[in-house]
Amino acid sequence: CTVENGALRLRYDVTPSLKVQCIRVPQKNRYQCMNRAAEESDADVLLFLDECLVEPNEAALREMLMYAQRDDVGAVTPMLTDARGRITHAGFTIDDAGRIVSRNHGLAQHAGGWHGMNRTSHNVMAVSAACAMIRKDHFIPFDPSYDDGLGAVDWCLKLSQRGLRHVYTPHARLVCTNEAYLRQWCRMDKLKASWPEWTDPCRCGKYRS
C-alpha cells in the first residue's frame, strides 16, 4: 500500500486469467437487457456500462477488478464525473431525510469530501447501474419492474443480504453525460415497501452527500 494525496491506497494482485465482458446498457428496458446479457455471458466478470460512458482504460479496469475479484465483494463502481470534473456518482447513501442520494454529488473530483473519503476506496451501501462491475458467480437478476436508478439500489441491497459488500474507488474515473439517471428520485414508494427498515451500514456519523 502507498499514501497518495494524503490517503492510503491499497493495491492487490489481479488474477490474470479473469475474462471480463463489457455490457453496454441502453436506456430502454435497462434491467431486462442487463439480466439477459448476464445470463448469456460466459465471462468471469461483468462490467455494466451505460451507453453514455466510454470504456475504462486498462488502469481503471484493473482498479475495479482488484476489488470485484474478491469473494466478499459484490458490485464495484468508479468515480463518475461530468465534463467539468464534478462528481455525479460516488456510491449511494441515505440522507437525513431518508432519501437515496449520490455521495458527494457536485463536489470537485479532486476534493477530499467528508474526512477525505472521496480520495480513498471504501464500502458503500449501493452503486449505480450506470457503471457497475461484478463477478458472474455473484450476479443475481435485477427486478425489471423498476424503471429508474432505484432498481440498482434494490439489487445492491439484495446482494448485501447475501453477505456481499459494495466498493467505490476514486482511483478509476469515467465521465458521465447522463446526469438525469443519477439524480435523486421522488418515487420511492416501491423501494420503501420492499425495504421498510433500511439503513446504510457504511454511513459514518452525520455524513452528508
65 pLDDT more than 80: yes
Dihedral sign, CA of 191, 194, 196, 198? Answer: negative
Report the range out of 79-83, 163-167, 172-176 with the highest average pLDDT: 163-167
Please tell me the predicted confidence (pLDDT) of residue 209.
28
Calculate mean pLDDT across residues 98-108: 80
- Residue 130 neighbours by CB distance under 10 Å: 25
Strands (E), 103-164: 122-124, 131-135
Please tell me the predicted confidence (pLDDT) of residue 73.
97
Cα distance between residue 1 and residue 10, in whole Å = 4
Calculate mean pLDDT across residues 156-185: 82
Q: How far is CA 175 from CA 23, 33, 54, 79, 151, in A?
A: 17, 22, 8, 8, 22
Q: Identify the H or E element spanning 174.
A: strand 165-175
**8-state DSSP, 85:** S
Instruction: For residue range 4-32, list pLDDT tens digits in order.
Output: 766 677 788 899 999 999 999 988 899 99
Check if the beta carbon of residue 29 is closer than 8 Å to that of residue 135. Answer: no
- Reported pTM: 0.87
pLDDT averaged over the chain? 85
Helices (H), 18-76: 30-40, 58-68
Calculate mean pLDDT across residues 118-135: 91
Q: Looking at per-residue confidence, does 209 or 134 come out higher? A: 134
